[in-house]
Amino acid sequence: MLLISCPNCGSRDETEFHYGGQAHVAYPENPSALNDREWAEFLFYRDNTKGAFAERWLHSTGCRQWFNMLRDTVTYEIQAVYPMGSPRPDTPGPAPESGTASTAADSTTTGTAAPKISGTSISGTSTSSTSTTAPEGATK
């Protein structure tokens, strides 16, 4: 059983949550321009990552809000919980400071209660997608 830290409610049992699949799957900008193959890939094709995986979760029994979570698919370690709409905290980007996630409470689903935890403690120096340093509060 996972103990998941909901940004609004704190730590709750996994049974209170529903899994929402892979996070950061952007809706195509111009869906009508896609061919069948591309449309099928948008709808059905998902990563099958071994290691850190960004996924969506819904606290369906509690506050009924969606949030994103970075979870290791091997160890089940929850590395980060961050609001919908903010970038993945551990993404190694071109700029060194790209590893810092936005802490702005601009999420449409979490309202005013932006989580205190975001991936800010992960420095941009990690080049692999599997970061070993969990952000503060990830296992709260």
Partner 1 sequence: MAETAAPATTRQKDLSLRVSPAAQLRAAFETDSVRGLVELSEVPFLTMVGLRVNRNSDAGQRVASVTGGLPAGCGGVAGPGSTSVLWLGPEEFLVVAPTEAHESLGGDLIQALREALADGEGQVVDLSANRTTFELTGPRSRAVLEKGCSLDLHPRVLKAGTALSTEIGNIPVVLWKTGEDTFRIFPRASFADFLGRWLLDAMREYASPEVP
Please give the residues from 61 up to 100 whose contact with partner 1 meets the rule CB under 8 A: 61-65
Q: Candidates 86, 110, 118, 131: give the one binding partner 1 (CB under 8 A).
A: 110
Tokens read off for 31:
């869906």
Tokens read off for 118:
């975001």
Stretch that binds partner 1, among 4-12, 26-34, 68-76, 131-139 (CB under 8 A): 4-12
Query: Taking the alpha carbons of 58, 101, 49, 126 in that order, is the dihedral positive or negative?
Result: negative
Q: For residue 41, what are the contacts with CB-CB under 8 A and spacing of at least 6?
A: none
- If one asks whether residue 8 binds partner 1 (CB under 8 A), the answer comes out as yes
Binding site for partner 1 (CB under 8 A): 8-10, 12-13, 15-16, 61-65, 110-113
